């Protein structure tokens, strides 16, 4: 990965941090996107000290806000005209329904629309790479839901699980539709399930009782370390075995079947069109 430029969202903790560390260890330049500047700079210092063969840079970005994503994307395009890998990794779980300041339900904004928008904005730099890879982190929770097209923002029947599961199904639908629409064979798009990983996702945007339950679950339920959870992301970003493979769902670094609803091309097209409208972009990848 020496000389490769890798963009990773949600890279200051959990799976994203472990992914950045593993790619820096292979010599990559990792561009870390996250909201907390102090935490981001601390992570950069840690990666640089531990993996001098690589390089790390932090870009403060609120992935809930399209305005912030657009600002960061422009900075990245100005500084890095060629990007080799984009890993859309950032994700949240919110117990109560919240809206961003742009008026979008928070889980859908971070877990799906940020993937969709950032991929579109950085595609010109990915297109210039000899072999570019777009990697979207989903979850097995995609199997437990369907797309609520009549109520995507879950105004009527919100639960944290329903919002999260829908966003993870959206990740798969988006990946498959991106594979069908992208104009370049040398740019691949894949999606993965990292496994049940010991992270703090269930401790934020929640209450004390749910946080306690999450701590108990991750303590007593078999779970992976962040480094173990990052293995499939790292494999898809770096392995020569993946060259040319696109539009696939991966578990444990192997191709696996995704949820039945994820194969609906009609649903994927509709989600794409809605996402275009909500992100204010058109004609990047005509259907």
The tens digit of pLDDT for each residue in 89-103 reads 999 989 999 999 999
User: What is the rounded distance in angstroms from the CA atom of residue 168 to the CA atom of residue 130?
Assistant: 29
User: What stretches of the chain show up as alpha helix (H) in DSSP?
Assistant: 14-25, 37-50, 66-79, 106-108, 114-127, 160-181, 208-220, 226-229, 231-238, 265-279
Count the domains in the chain.
Answer: 1
Tell me how far apart the alpha carbons of residues 103 and 130 are, in angstroms, rounded to a whole number. 38
Catalytic residues, by residue number, are: 164
With respect to residue 69, please indicate whether it lies within any of the assigned structural domains: yes
Q: In this structure, is residue 287 part of a structural domain?
A: no
Domain assignment present for residue 284? The answer is: no
Dihedral Cα 160, 98, 100, 111, nearest 10 deg: 0
CA 135 and chain centroid, separation: 7
Low-confidence ranges of the chain (pLDDT < 50): 202-203, 208
Q: Which residues contact 32 (CB under 8 A, 6 or more apart)?
A: 8, 11, 12, 16, 20, 40, 43, 44, 56, 57, 58, 59
pLDDT at 285: 79
Is 19 a member of any domain?
yes
pLDDT at 206: 61
Domain limits at 46? 5-279
Q: What is the pLDDT of residue 147?
A: 98
65 lies in some domain? yes
DSSP 8-state code for residue 110: I
Write the DSSP symbol of residue 224.
B
Asked if residue 199 is part of any domain, the answer here is: yes
Assigned domain for 106 exists = yes
The answer to whether residue 243 is domain-embedded is yes
- We report the CATH number of the domain holding residue 157 as 3.40.50.720
User: Is there a contact between 212 and 30 (Cβ–Cβ < 8 Å)?
Assistant: no
């Amino acid at each position: 990965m020496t000389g490769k430029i890798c963009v990773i969202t949600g890279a200051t903790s959990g799976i994203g941090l472990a992914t950045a560390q593993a790619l820096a260890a292979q010599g990559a330049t990792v561009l870390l996107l996250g909201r907390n500047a102090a935490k981001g700079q601390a992570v950069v210092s840690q990666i640089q000290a531990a993996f001098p063969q690589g390089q790390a840079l932090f870009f403060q970005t609120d992935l809930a806000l399209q305005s912030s994503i657009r600002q960061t994307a422009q900075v990245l395009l100005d500084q890095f005209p060629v990007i080799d890998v984009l890993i859309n990794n950032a994700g949240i779980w919110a117990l109560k329904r919240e809206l961003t300041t742009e008026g979008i339900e928070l889980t859908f904004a971070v877990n799906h629309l940020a993937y969709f928008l950032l991929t579109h904005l950085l595609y010109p730099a990915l297109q210039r790479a000899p072999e570019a890879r777009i990697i979207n982190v989903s979850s097995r929770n995609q199997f437990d839901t369907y797309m609520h097209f009549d109520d995507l923002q879950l105004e009527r029947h919100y639960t944290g699980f329903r919002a999260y599961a829908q966003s993870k199904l959206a990740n798969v639908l988006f990946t498959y539709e991106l594979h069908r629409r992208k104009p370049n064979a040398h740019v691949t798009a894949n999606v993965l399930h990292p496994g049940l990983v010991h992270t703090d996702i269930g401790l934020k945007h929640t209450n004390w009782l749910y946080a306690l339950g999450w701590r108990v679950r991750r303590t007593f339920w078999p779970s992976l370390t962040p480094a173990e959870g990052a293995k499939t992301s790292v494999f898809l970003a770096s392995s020569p075995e993946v060259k040319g493979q696109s539009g696939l769902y991966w578990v444990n670094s192997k191709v696996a079947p995704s949820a039945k609803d994820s194969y609906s091309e009609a649903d994927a097209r509709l989600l794409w069109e809605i996402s275009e409208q909500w992100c204010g972009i058109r004609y990047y990848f005509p259907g």
